Amino acid sequence: MYRLIRIARIIISLIAMAVPTWALIAGYESVFVRMQILTALLSGVSVTLLFWALVTIIYGRLYCSTVCPLGTLMDCVSSTSRLVRRKSQAYRYRPPSRKTRLVFLLLTLLFLLSGTTIIPTLLDPYSAYARMVKEFLAIPFGKAEAPVRFALATFAVAGVTAVTVVAVSWKHGRLLCNTVCPIGTVLGYGSRRPYFHFEIDPDRCINCGECERVCKSGCIKLPEKTIDHSRCVVCFDCVTVCPNAAITYKNGRYRLDMPMMRRVQTSGPSLRTTAPQQNSVTCSKK
């Protein structure tokens, strides 16, 4: 089932990237533009903002894995990197960059409150993707209107953005989503404890490391069997590679079938720690 969900997610994300790309080249406005969070915020479309807030609280960061075209571009680059570099391209757990995320988020909010959209549109994933498509595809090959004609400054910004996205994604997957992107940070706060989320069953986990190897968000901490849901982009990569079906997308948390320790007794004549009894084994020589 998880493989089918993952395939469906990939198809939806590719469509959500291809349609706006074609629309920008042809000079049309696609429906996916209205689904973007910053666009909805600047235009005052509260329905879109409410929709993504509910989706994030219930299912996690589905926006990042399905509708965000820049996120899909990062996934394409990281997938290509894994095909080319094979086993050398293995992701590992990275501690969350909370201070960096907060700095970029506050910077974005300050510019929005001041009425300036230079920094917000520079950091917004859809705006960055649309800028690259216009400069590299729409202007040379499409129907670029007069206001969208070639400008050296805009081309330079698009070029730096493209090089940064490709370089970071090639080696570190979704690192930009969880450090620089203000949309990812906001959605991360909303998905810290989503209703449905990925959980690792400690009784079934065999510590093979396959889930951590394919997690492009670097949010799986295998020794502790924990997942940082604020950075998880709900790509379903980890569940499809787990050889023992130890990861599931569910509500609630797993508990150990056999607890490692029992509660310390704090009442009575003496304090003592009760532990599970072990069967004694006797060895004899013949």
Contacts of 82 (CB under 8 A, 6+ apart): 89
Amino acid at 279: N
What pLDDT is recorded for position 116?
87
CA atoms of 45 and 59, how far apart (whole Å): 22
Q: Phi-psi category of 251—alpha, beta or left, where left has phi over 0 and alpha has psi -120 to 50?
A: beta
Provide Rg for the chain, Cα atoms: 23
At how many degrees (to 10) do helices 152-172 and 125-133 cross? 120
3-state secondary structure of 199: strand
For the chain, the farthest-separated pair of C-alpha atoms sits apart, in whole angstroms, at: 98
Contacts of 62 (CB under 8 A, 6+ apart): 55, 56, 234
CA atoms of 63 and 37, how far apart (whole Å): 9
CA atoms of 183 and 37, how far apart (whole Å): 7
Q: Under a CB-based contact definition with an 8 Å cutoff, are residues 183 and 37 in contact? A: yes
At how many degrees (to 10) do helices 182-190 and 98-113 cross? 110
What pLDDT is recorded for position 29?
80
Each of the 286 residues of the chain gets a pLDDT tens digit; together they read: 899 999 999 999 999 999 999 998 888 888 888 889 998 898 888 899 999 999 999 999 999 999 999 999 999 999 998 888 766 568 999 999 999 999 999 999 999 999 888 999 999 999 999 999 999 998 887 665 545 555 788 889 999 999 999 999 999 999 999 999 999 999 999 999 899 999 999 999 999 999 999 999 999 998 889 999 999 999 999 999 999 999 999 987 766 554 444 444 444 444 444 444 444 333 333 3
Q: CA 49 from chain center: how many Å?
A: 19
